Amino acid sequence: MSGKLFWGRTGLLVAILGGLLLVQLSLGWQKPVAADTAVSAPITNNSSGSALLCQYGVNAIISPITLVDLGALRAGWYLDYRAQANPLKPNNIEYVLTVRLTQTGPDSYIYSLNSSNNDIQVVADGNPGAIWLIGNEPDRRDWQDDVEPAVYAKAYHDLYLAIKAADPSARIYAGTIVQPTPLRLLYLDLVLQSYLERYGMSMPVDGWSIHNFILNEVSCDYDPGNCWGAEIPPGIDAPYGDLVDIDENDSITRFQDRIIAFRQWMRARGYRDVPLTVSEYGVLMPADFGFPPSRVNDFKTNTFNFMNTAADLALGYPADNNRLVQTWSWYSTGNPGDPYNGYLFQQSGSSWVLSAMGIHYANHTAVIPEKIDFYPAKIFADPAFSQGEPVTVTLNTQIANSGNLATATGPVVVRFYDGDPQGGGVQIGADQTVTLAGCGRVAVVQVLWPNVPPGAHVVYVVVDEDGDFAEVNEANNIASQTILVATERTFLPVISRPLLVGQ
């Protein structure tokens, strides 16, 4: 069926068919917010017991989440656009928190965590070490958070400090833009520039979060009849951005190109060494616009395969074998009244069962083998200087697990050596152990090395299995780095300049 679908500022989902205007639903771009109470009885958990996969997530619209069997999907994480203090975690699934933002003035904002508690300390206490997404589509005018770049920079700064004070192990992710197009990368450049100008430092980021829908970018003020999709980001005055045909809503080429472009953007701005999550994506166009489940499933297969395998030695995350994307989340579990496609569950009487798209998701993940891969991703030392005498050096290594399990595995034994251990190298310090989940999770192991003479020293780090498991790659379990104990210091002037938009 041919037609045109758009979400304009009126919040109307409109189909134009042969000149006939059909108003189907008054929801707009805003995702339906599920109630906090159950609307139907939970289904029996029929998951196979297979280990959960850390890459695969789902955007949870059905509430409570236990109404659906996420175990059947092997999904390792979910988000529900809130930051709950005591989230449900069926099958020990990971819960990712979302802090919602609202701009209240030219330089002011408020934030919200959930419907009952807005206390960061309380929420942090219930989610130690969790991922916090700051904002949800702050680059989306009128719907979602709708925050100008300078205000987002301020909100991110304040919330980063507050969350880290409440939980130093929390992982704070920035961004969560609708799609990584040039206009929206400009929006993020304006955020970074505002942060630098206001706080005199680069924005600290533990990870970047993006959505990757394939949507039109047209100003509703300029062209109200064609502004379906993502509109123009707040704080940017432009009539057009990326122009997209509705039939491209499942374009794997555009999807891939945008991921690569965002990783290039990350590298150019000094963020290559942090993970990237695609925290929401899917096919929004309904079946009667030419997107039946079979077509949605093809897109799902193509994107899953791409994100599972795409890697680049110059762009990817070093702690995840240089993969471009670490984790991703499919939109969505589904919900009564939700007009968008891609729903993984549907109601059958009083229960929720897998839809054709949910069965496809489950079949895809069911055959993925469990993978564990520990290795030393980085070796470094605290600066050490000597006036000719031996000194004590603090050695560090970043141990990574690029496997695919959502739960922590191990332990592995980590050893430091002065020289090649296979050629007579001497161990430095004692054995240490590490357990980690996959998808590029890291842990820093440290050891003191006393009586080190001045000069260059080649330090090796070896990771050995110490559990009932096998790694998929034994070849990367040893790494080396030259460490210098210097006898002279060179002082250079510090020259800095603001980050220019577009750099």
Token digits of residue 341: 């496609």
pLDDT at 181: 98
Half-sphere exposure of 300 (CA within 13 A, CB side): 32
**How many CB atoms within 10 Å of residue 433?**
14
SS3 43: coil
pTM comes to 0.89
Each residue's pLDDT, cut to its tens digit, for the chain (503 residues) gives 223 233 433 333 333 222 222 222 222 223 333 333 233 333 333 344 589 999 999 999 999 999 999 999 999 999 999 999 999 999 999 999 999 999 999 999 999 999 888 999 999 999 999 999 999 999 999 989 999 999 999 999 999 999 999 999 999 999 999 999 999 999 999 999 999 999 999 999 999 999 999 999 999 999 999 999 999 999 999 999 999 999 999 999 999 999 999 999 999 999 999 999 999 999 999 999 999 999 999 999 999 999 999 999 999 999 999 999 999 999 999 977 778 999 999 999 989 999 999 999 999 999 999 999 999 999 999 988 888 899 999 999 999 999 999 999 999 999 999 999 999 999 999 999 999 999 999 999 999 999 999 999 999 999 998 777 889 999 999 999 999 998 876 655 655 444 444 44
Give the three-class secondary structure for 349: coil
- Between the alpha carbon of residue 60 and those of residues 241, 275, 286, the distances in Å are 30, 22, 19
What are the extents of the domains in the chain? 32-366, 374-485
In which residue are the tokens 């060179």 written? 490
The predicted pLDDT at position 495 comes to 53
- Rounded to the nearest 10 degrees, the angle between the axes of helix 356-366 and helix 293-309 is 30
pLDDT of residue 97: 98
Please determine, looking at this structure, whether the domain spanning 32-366 carries the CATH number 3.20.20: yes
Task: Please tell me the distance from the alpha carbon of residue 283 to that of residue 292, in angstroms, as a whole number.
Answer: 10
Cα torsion 5, 11, 12, 16 to 10°: value is -30
- Count of alpha carbons within 13 angstroms of residue 395, beta-carbon side: 30
Cis peptide leading into 275, omega within 30 of 0? no
Say which amino acid occupies 457: H
> Kind of pairing, strands 207-211 and 276-281?
parallel
Rounded to 10 degrees, the C-alpha dihedral 166/168/170/175 comes to 90
Domain covering 374-485: architecture: Sandwich (2.60)
Backbone φ, ψ for residue 285 (5° rounding): -65, 135
- Answer yes or no: same fold for 32-366 and 374-485: no
Q: What's the gap between Cα 142 and its chain centre? A: 24
